[in-house]
Amino acid sequence: MAVRPPTPPPPDPWLFPAPGPDGFTVDDLADLSDEGGQAEIIDGTLLVSRPGGFTVDDLDRIPGGDGNRYELIDGMLVVSPAPGMPHQVVVTRLATLLTAACPRDLFVLGSSPAVRKGRRGSVEPDVVVLRKADVAAAFDRPYTGVPVLAVEVLSPSTRTFDRLVKRSVYARIGVPTYWIIDPSPRTGPAITALRLDPATGEYLDDATVGPDGILTTAEPFPVALRLADLHDLG
């Protein structure tokens, strides 16, 4: 029986190119280290795979600090470029608005810790609401809890993954509430609120609210969110 030799680990440190404002292009593929796998680009997001997949140990070989976001989905490395200003404004405003309504047993973070489940999965929502007990436990160790709310703010290079792939990932790990926000500076922000159905393990559309509307919800806590406030610079 033929035995496939083990795939060597990526180089240490594992460095990636800095993409342009529209994300990665085919020219960036030439700058990748040869780690025995294959790479492709979808909507400006870089996907790197190899036989046997990558693990969280491989993520630790990436120095970071380059503005890219590095996530693992079923052993596939997903590299997305740094978000633009509209994205960052919405993330900051949303975290502020949620914090104002957040109960004492929960905590809002606009800079998410890695949500890791198993050795082949690690994702980073844009905004999360966490149980305060899980936050306290993660001060001196990796975060191992499950957010009560995960929020993704769409970027040109992440629209497909946030709407389809990450929706499936968050459902699988049991995140009860998932919001997808389109920060469009041209038309104003819109939000789709999803609620996990425990009977099916899939998300149900709870509400979709446009730029002139107000999202009123009880999950993960009671809040009335005026969408126009997400672009309010004060």
pLDDT values of the chain reduced to their tens digit, one per residue, 234 residues = 445 556 666 777 788 888 877 788 888 888 776 655 788 898 889 999 988 899 999 888 888 778 888 999 999 999 988 888 888 999 999 999 999 999 999 999 988 788 888 889 999 999 999 999 998 888 888 888 999 999 999 987 778 888 888 999 999 999 999 999 998 878 888 999 999 999 999 999 989 999 999 999 999 999 999 999 998 886
Is 197 in the same domain as 150?
Answer: yes
Is 103 in the same domain as 75?
Answer: no
**Residue 37 belongs to a domain:** yes
Contacts of 128 (CB under 8 A, 6+ apart): 108, 109, 112, 113, 115, 147, 149, 150, 151
Is 102 in the same domain as 56?
Answer: no
**Residue 32 belongs to a domain:** yes
Query: Which domain CATH number covers 224?
Result: 3.90.1570.10
Is 60 in the same domain as 172?
Answer: no
Is 122 in the same domain as 210?
Answer: yes
**Residue 234 has what pLDDT?**
64
Is 71 in the same domain as 155?
Answer: no
Backbone dihedral angles phi then psi of residue 57, each to the nearest 5 degrees: -65, -35
Is 109 in the same domain as 212?
Answer: yes
CA nearest 174: which of 206, 138, 200? 200
Q: Under a CB-based contact definition with an 8 Å cutoff, are residues 191 and 179 in contact? A: yes
CA nearest 161: which of 51, 48, 79, 91? 79
pTM here is 0.89
**Residue 113 has what pLDDT?**
81
Taken in order 185, 153, 50, 32, the sign of the CA dihedral is positive
**Residue 2 belongs to a domain:** no
**Domain ranges, residue 45:** 26-80
**Residue 12 belongs to a domain:** no
**Residue 7 belongs to a domain:** no
Alpha-carbon 1 to chain mean position: 41
Is 76 in the same domain as 115?
Answer: no
Is 223 in the same domain as 112?
Answer: yes
Final residue in a domain of this structure, among 80, 115, 149: 80
Is 149 in the same domain as 222?
Answer: yes
CA nearest 47: which of 38, 56, 57, 55? 38
**Residue 91 belongs to a domain:** yes
**Residue 39 belongs to a domain:** yes
Q: Would you call 39 helix, strand, or coil by DSSP?
A: strand
**Residue 1 has what pLDDT?**
45
Is 174 in the same domain as 210?
Answer: yes
**Residue 35 has what pLDDT?**
59
**Residue 11 belongs to a domain:** no
Contacts of 44 (CB under 8 A, 6+ apart): 19, 22, 23, 24, 25, 80, 81, 156, 157
CA nearest 40: which of 32, 159, 156? 32
CA nearest 79: which of 16, 37, 142? 16
If you search the block for the tokens 């990436």, which residue do you land on?
62
**Residue 216 has what pLDDT?**
96
Is 208 in the same domain as 98?
Answer: yes
How many domains in the chain? 2
